[in-house]
Amino acid sequence: MNFPKVIRRKELLQAAFLGSAAGLVGVIFFVILLNSMNSTETSNEEVIPVQSNEAENNTPKQFSEQFFANQHGMFSSSEAANAFISGYPSLNKSTIVEVDGSFYVWSSISTTKESVKLSENPSSFVKPFKFIGDACEESSIQDLPAQLKSEERSKFYFEKDQVPDSLPQDWKAITVALSSISEDLSVIRLHLLSHYYSENDCLKIQF
């Protein structure tokens, strides 16, 4: 069998051109594929949600606090509640708080459940509730839950002309009057809450 010893120059150039073209197409395809992969990775990175501090700072402030009342009874009318109180001399510092048409006899309001001093005659129990000022527009009334939550006497009693503007205007007169009734902050807190709650419909009590 005879093999040609000479390869034509034209055929050699054609082979070289086809080889170069195939290599160039492969390189172009590889570059396109690589760019496509990088674009996909970048897109995936961009959709990762990131929580911003601005969203946290825009959280509305809550004007509500948890309290614990020393409750002696619940009645359907104020007359019945008053009749109950008159039967027990020990309830001479108590008050009646009306919530949704029911009349509650409370003798104190504390900031913790453990600090409520229960009695046996008449018997009492702890009544948890939230005091809410969210619906109030006047800041001095809106902030009352936080003000009443304090356990510092300096937050309740002030020297003449030293009452902060952030408190209701009659705060000084009421606390002076209450100081003659009791020195117990849980009793003072009770009567302050009862007074402002009855005078301001925007304040709410929630059980």
Residues 120 and 19 in one domain: no
Residues 117 and 184 in one domain: yes
Question: Sorting pLDDT into bands at 50, 70 and 90, what band is 8?
Answer: low
Within a domain: 53: no
Q: Which is higher by pLDDT, 165 or 123? A: 123
Q: How far apart, in whole angstroms, are the C-alpha atoms of residue 26 and residue 15?
A: 17
Domain hosting residue 75, numbered range: 64-206
Which residue is associated with the tokens 């019945």? 80
Read off the pLDDT of residues 43-75 as tens digits, 9 standing for 90 and up: 454 545 455 455 455 666 789 999 999 999 999
Within a domain: 200: yes
Instruction: Work out whether strand 102-110 and strand 95-99 pair parallel, antiparallel, or are unpaired.
Output: antiparallel
- Which of 113-122, 130-139, 163-172, 181-190 has the lowest average pLDDT? 163-172
User: Residue 26 CA to chain centroid, in angstroms?
Assistant: 62
Residues 167 and 192 in one domain: yes
Within a domain: 3: no
Within a domain: 57: no
Read off the pLDDT of residues 15-46 as tens digits, 9 standing for 90 and up: 555 555 555 555 565 556 556 655 555 445 45
Collapse the DSSP code of 19 into the 3-class scheme (helix H, G, I; strand E, B; otherwise coil) and give the result: helix
Of the CA atoms within 13 Å of residue 70, those in its CB half-sphere come to: 25
159 token code pair: 């020297």
Residues 20 and 110 in one domain: no
Within a domain: 2: no
pLDDT of the residue at 38: 56
Within a domain: 113: yes
Residues 129 and 37 in one domain: no
Q: How far apart, in whole angstroms, are the C-alpha atoms of residue 184 and residue 178?
A: 10
Residues 108 and 201 in one domain: yes
Residue type, 93: K
CA-based torsion, 135, 127, 110, 70: positive or negative: positive
- For residue 125, pLDDT over 50 is answered with yes
As a whole-number percent, the residues of the chain with pLDDT over 90 amount to 62
As a whole-number percent, the residues of the chain with pLDDT over 70 amount to 70
- Number of domains forming the structure of the chain: 2
pLDDT of the residue at 97: 98
> Are 131 and 64 contacting, i.e. CB atoms less than 8 angstroms apart?
yes
* First-to-final CA distance of the chain: 109
pLDDT of the residue at 29: 56
- For residue 148, pLDDT over 80 is answered with yes
Residues 107 and 197 in one domain: yes
The mean predicted confidence, pLDDT, of the chain is 83
Within a domain: 116: yes
> Are 204 and 195 contacting, i.e. CB atoms less than 8 angstroms apart?
no
Residues 185 and 115 in one domain: yes
- For residue 122, pLDDT over 60 is answered with yes
pLDDT of the residue at 34: 53
pLDDT of the residue at 116: 98
Residues 43 and 134 in one domain: no
Question: Sorting pLDDT into bands at 50, 70 and 90, what band is 189?
Answer: very high
Residues 152 and 68 in one domain: yes
Residues 103 and 166 in one domain: yes
Residues 146 and 200 in one domain: yes
Within a domain: 20: yes
Read off the pLDDT of residues 63-109 as tens digits, 9 standing for 90 and up: 999 999 999 999 999 999 999 999 999 999 999 999 999 999 999 99
